Amino acid sequence: MKTKVTFRHVKTQHELQEAALEAAERFEKFYNGITSTDIIFKNEADKTVEFTVRVHGNTLIAKESSDEFHKSLYEASDKMIRQLQKRKEKLFQNV
């Protein structure tokens, strides 16, 4: 799986980058067909984290904003995990 981390309007923070990479690695526990993951940290009105995960022909997006990057990262990764679990359930129902 290819993973890319981008910081917009904020300096690169090593600890956030490491936490984002760990979160992306956790996604593979829930869904095996992930081809790439993009993680974007945006410093706008709030601190926003957006995950874009590509799986066999589809793109899943989870975005969360809060007053801290760590909180946004945790909540956005939870959203993505729920989406991946739901997608996996649908695939197994159709088989």
The pLDDT of residue 93 is 81
- Tell me the C-alpha distance between 41 and 69, whole Å: 8
First to last CA, the chain: 25
CB-CB neighbours of 24 under 10 Å: 23
Domain boundaries, the chain: 2-86
* CA distance to 27, 89, 91, per residue, from 20 (Å): 11, 25, 27
Tally of CA atoms within 13 A in the half-sphere of 68 that contains its CB: 5
- Tell me the C-alpha distance between 56 and 34, whole Å: 7
Q: What string of pLDDT tens digits covers the 95 residues of the chain?
A: 899 999 999 999 999 999 999 999 999 999 988 999 999 999 988 999 999 999 988 999 999 999 999 999 999 999 999 999 999 898 888 66
The pLDDT of residue 94 is 67
Spell out the CATH class of 2-86. Answer: alpha beta
The pTM score is 0.91
